[in-house]
Structure 1
Amino acid sequence: MDQLQRSLLEAPIVEKNGYHYFVHPISDGVPKLDPGLLREIVIRIIRKAKLDDVDRIVTPAAMGIHISTAVSLMTDIPLTVIRKRQYGLEGEVAISQETGYSENEMYINDVYEGERVLVLDDVLSTGGTLASVLEALDAIGAEVVDTIAVIKKVGGENKVDDAGYDVKTLVNVDVVDGEVVIVDENGDS
């Protein structure tokens, strides 16, 4: 069992509006993020992702930033963060983000038609965030070379799957009786 799996099995569960949510350093920044765990995740992403000719990494704020920054540092691929704040820059694209527990506007800047992008995120649960991001990148005309979420919470609606997008994952989990259960230790199911 790797460090990511162990840390997930030990993660506390909280309920928000009927949604069972695991609290984990990768998805929440608490408890502390061990550098060894981050290093393991980055190495696994680099091994799993199609990185040939990728122009930039794109990640939604906020919890994809630490993962994507580390991947950017290891691959020398520039990083663009999709922010929850409007800047009003030329070419800014607004997208609606709907998750299992919130709705927000997000804004993409500095991604252009024809660019080849790798999309990275921390958790794929309802798929609301990633589906919105991928649809917006399609509308911009960027080519999504690959999409990876570190953790996938299975069960329930998944807007990314429903929209026909393929997202690779490192580990798939479910929350059963108040505990995290590893469904697929290699992800991608």
Structure 2
Amino acid sequence: MDRLERSLREAPIVEKDDGYQYFVHPISDGIPNLDPGLLREIVIRIIRKADLAEVDKIVTPAAMGIHISTAVSLMTDIPLTVIRKREYGLDGEVAIAQQTGYSENEMFINDVHEGERVLVLDDVLSTGGTLASVIDALDEIGADVVDSVAVIKKVGGENEVDERGYHVKTLVNVDVVDGAVVIVDANGDD
């Protein structure tokens, strides 16, 4: 069993409003602490899985995609743009609505331009609300989403990414059953 699987099996579960089962994990929450070996394993798996040949820029939503995307950027020399939860008012800034299984926010894309080829990276694909909104906004900007990868996919329930016809590759697919994380597919989606 690899580090990612082991860390997921050990992840505590907290129940959010309306019974949403949320696993607490270093990749998605920064707690417990993030083992460098786990991060290295994830970055290597992303680099092997993602189509990087034509990518000009990595794009990630704040906050928990930042550490993963930074590490991938350092290993590939591909520049990184972070989608922020704060408005800056810069020329070309695009506002997007972010909706997850447990919250709604507004996010802002800066420094992504028409014709740029981007890789979208994120920590968890659960309801697909965040990634669907990000990919929609990138399409509206005119950027070419070459590939998108989420480290962990929580299966079951509706998924806005699938409903909108987007494909997101994942490293591992999990479910939460009876208060525990269950590995559904240790290789994720290609």
TM-score (normalizing by structure 2) = 0.99
Cα offset for 1:47? 0.3
Equivalence for 1:110 = 111
Tell me the secondary structure at the aligned position of residue 48 of structure 2: helix
Correspondence for 2:139: 138
Consecutive unaligned residues in structure 2, runs of 5 or more: none
1:37-116 paired onto structure 2 within 5 Å: 37-116=38-117
Cross-structure match for 1:177: 178
RMSD: 0.6
Which residue in the other structure is 1:2 paired with? Answer: 2
2:128 maps to what in 1?
A: 127
Deviations 1:63-97 (A, max 9, x none): 00000000000000000000000000000000000
How far did 1:4 drift? 0.1
**Secondary structure in structure 2 of the residue aligned to 1:59:** strand
Cα distance in structure 2, aligned partners of 1:123 and 1:32: 17
1:133-172 to structure 2, matched below 5 A, reads 133-172=134-173
Cα distance between partner residues in 2 of 1:161 and 1:185? 20
Q: How many residues align?
A: 189
Cα distance in structure 2, aligned partners of 1:129 and 1:53:
24
Unaligned runs of 5+ in 1: none
Aligned to 2:11, the other structure's residue is in SS state coil
Task: Supply the distance in 2 between the matched residues of 1:126 and 1:39 (Cα, whole angstroms).
Answer: 26
> Secondary structure of the residue that 1:88 maps to in structure 2?
coil
The amino acid of 1:128's aligned partner reads G
Separation in 1, partners of 2:82, 2:150: 15
Aligned-partner Cα distance in 2 for 1:110–1:56: 10
Aligned-partner SS, 2:87: coil
Matched residue, 1:186 = 187
Distance 1:53 1:99 in 2: 30
Opposite residue 138 of structure 2, the aligned amino acid is L
Between the aligned partners of 1:91 and 1:150, the Cα distance in structure 2 is 29
TM-score of the pair, normalised by structure 1: 0.99
Which AA in structure 1 matches 2:13?
I
One-letter amino acid matched to 2:127: T
Q: Deviation of residue 53 (structure 1)?
A: 1.9
Misfit runs of 4+, over 4 Å: none
